[in-house]
Amino acid sequence: MKTGIDLGTTYSLIARLQQDGTPTLLPDSSFREVYSTPSAIYLNDRNAAVGYLVEALLEENPELPVLRFFKRNFGAPNPIFLDRAGMAWHAETLAALVLKKLRFDAESYAGRAMEGAVVTVPAHFHDRQRKAVLNAAALAELPVLGLVEEPVAAALHYGVSNTCKDEVLMVYDLGGGTFDVTLLSMDERGVYVLAKDGITELGGKEFDEAIAAMVLEQFRNTHGSPLPMNGLTSLQLRRISEEIKIELSIPNKSFLKKTVLIGSHAFEVVVYRKDFEAAIRHMIEQTIEVSMRCLDGAGLREADIGKLMLVGGSSMVPSIGQRLGQVFSDSRQRIFHHEPLKAVAYGAAVHAAQLSGEAEAYEIPPEFRGVTGHHIGIQTINPQTGRMEVDRLIAKNMPLPAQATRTFYTSSATQTKIRLQVVQYHDPKSELTPVGELVIGPLANPALNYPVEVTVENTTDGTIRVRAYDPNTGVELEQEFGASGDGGASLVLQRNLVRSTFINHL
């Protein structure tokens, strides 16, 4: 069985293609009516509860420490959680538990072994974040066919179920925790990415917090004092805020009035849609700015967009469609939702068929081409000025796989190693994201100005690989490339942690 996994900030889903090529979601193994797994984990010594079970356990004990939103920490060096045995849990170890559970659910429902999975990542994820997702899959012992970007997956699903001719499609993907925008061209042969951009920390979480602030203010106004916060009240506030937000998305609902129970306090809450819209306006404007930057990156203008597809749960907030309608105002431009909560998982299942050579059997357009999301360069010291400079090797929005080769030279006769910092960045003025340090050597015949050829490759998964050659001998040089020296050791430790953690058997 080949599957597609949408590893979401708030909810994760797993899908596969049915015999006729239409995608379908696979349910939770314990709750067969549940088709999405909250990306939430409760760890208890060697046991882990993942997903819907965590929500059920919280009903009994709201004080349970639950880990959520870890997708935002992919690639970050610091652990998110220390368990009682003092073991450090990073985002990738926690995500591995989610993947392990999804695999278990899928296999127990379908009664078949998982042969391969495509896992989705936000389009704007850089190398370290993507490698963290691949590490999570390795820790979960999930056979990975490849990664696919969330908006691209959504477009693949759309492209398979609709005919698209010579049109540029913009996918606006606003989920529970991240925003992505991607421009694609599609035809009957496949899907081609033109440009992409995004924001790591923007989504439903921020919208919920805006509503929560209103609820808390109304509590203060009614009771004359702030709401006492504890495990129970935080849980109730979070759930109520999300519920209110979702209800406010119902067309023509201009306000919502309900009596809520938080802790031992029952009180009336009134939330006007216009107040919610005002509270999140600056965030929507940020998504518009990034969308414009994306258009600019592809050398296109608003009028070049034929269709604008909205995906991700948060894209259902009505003011988003309205605002996009002001920007893309040509009557021929279509702005629409296409299965906003499922399209990513469905498209990942489509891509799994493409990557495993089954596209023809399912009559899926076989071609697919992604682009680089960042400039990729090497930081060097300018010998004239002594200042750090970035030598750009691969530009942003180049077709994948992309590669470039540069020759570097030793600066003294006794230098036996060359150290190079590989970086990613959005534009020359923006912050540099370190990819890793490349250490080449020891060189067999050190000499002044000894040349070393370095090739940097951005793979179809969007991850970065480097190689170093000695052009004099044509031999590949010894090299190490990694974000930290003990990467391998910590991965083994983390793998043991995930292996020995039982899931959902508390």
Ligand X SMILES: Nc1ncnc2c1ncn2[C@@H]1O[C@H](COP(=O)(O)OP(=O)(O)OP(=O)(O)O)[C@@H](O)[C@H]1O
Asked whether 264 and 231 are in contact (CB, 8 A), the reply is no
Q: What is the DSSP string of 80-144?
A: SEE-TT--EE-HHHHHHHHHHHHHHHHHHHHTS---EEEEEE-TT--HHHHHHHHHHHHHTT--E
Report the nearest approach of Mg ion to the CB of residue 96 (Å): 18
Q: Which is nearer to Mg ion, 99 or 376 (CB)?
A: 99
Q: Which does 249 bind (CB under 5 to 8 A by kind): Mg ion, ligand X, none?
A: ligand X
Q: Which is nearer to ligand X, 181 or 378 (CB)?
A: 181
Q: Which does 11 bind (CB under 5 to 8 A by kind): Mg ion, ligand X, none?
A: ligand X
Asked whether 20 and 28 are in contact (CB, 8 A), the reply is no
> Which residue in 160, 60, 178, 43 sits closest to 123, CA to CA?
178
Report the nearest approach of ligand X to the CB of residue 397 (Å): 22
How many angstroms separate the CA atoms of 316 and 181, rounded?
Answer: 15
Coil, helix or strand at residue 346: helix
Measured distance between the N- and C-terminal CA atoms of the chain, rounded to whole angstroms: 29
Q: Which is nearer to ligand X, 203 or 306 (CB)?
A: 203
Q: Which does 151 bind (CB under 5 to 8 A by kind): ligand X, Mg ion, none?
A: none
Asked whether 97 and 48 are in contact (CB, 8 A), the reply is yes
Q: Which does 242 bind (CB under 5 to 8 A by kind): Mg ion, ligand X, none?
A: ligand X
Binding site for ligand X (CB under 6 A): 6, 8-11, 71, 150, 175-178, 203-204, 242, 245-246, 249, 312-314, 316-317, 341
Report the nearest approach of Mg ion to the CB of residue 15 (Å): 13
Residue 382 CA to its chain's centroid (Å): 36
Q: How far is CA 307 from CA 105, 163, 233, 326, in A?
A: 36, 12, 43, 14
Helices (H) and strands (E) in the chain, counts: 10, 28
Q: Which is nearer to ligand X, 45 or 285 (CB)?
A: 285
Q: Which does 356 bind (CB under 5 to 8 A by kind): ligand X, Mg ion, none?
A: none
Q: Which is nearer to ligand X, 71 or 375 (CB)?
A: 71
Report the nearest approach of Mg ion to the CB of residue 177 (Å): 8
φ, ψ for residue 445 (rounded to 5)?
A: -125, 75
Residue 30 CB-density burial (10 A; 0-12 exposed, 13-18 middle, 19+ buried): middle
Q: Which is nearer to ligand X, 11 or 425 (CB)?
A: 11
Can you state the angle between helices 127-139 and 487-499, rounded to 10 degrees?
A: 40
Asked whether 92 and 70 are in contact (CB, 8 A), the reply is no
Facing residues of 198 across strands? 180
Report the nearest approach of Mg ion to the CB of residue 89 (Å): 22
For 200-316, strand residue ranges (E) read: 255-262, 265-272, 307-311
Binding site for Mg ion (CB under 5 A): 8, 175
Report the nearest approach of Mg ion to the CB of residue 150 (Å): 5
The residue sitting closest to Mg ion, measured at its beta carbon, is: 175
The first and second tokens of residue 259, run together, are: 């009596």
Report the nearest approach of Mg ion to the CB of residue 482 (Å): 29
Q: Which is nearer to Mg ion, 347 or 436 (CB)?
A: 347
Facing residues of 371 across strands? 399
Count other Cβ atoms within 10 Å, centred on residue 453: 18
Report the nearest approach of ligand X to the CB of residue 340 (Å): 7
Q: Which does 245 bind (CB under 5 to 8 A by kind): ligand X, Mg ion, none?
A: ligand X
Q: Which is nearer to ligand X, 306 or 347 (CB)?
A: 347
Q: Which is nearer to ligand X, 38 or 441 (CB)?
A: 38
Q: Which is nearer to ligand X, 158 or 450 (CB)?
A: 158
Report the nearest approach of ligand X to the CB of residue 7 (Å): 7
Report the nearest approach of ligand X to the CB of residue 240 (Å): 12
Q: Which does 203 bind (CB under 5 to 8 A by kind): Mg ion, ligand X, none?
A: ligand X
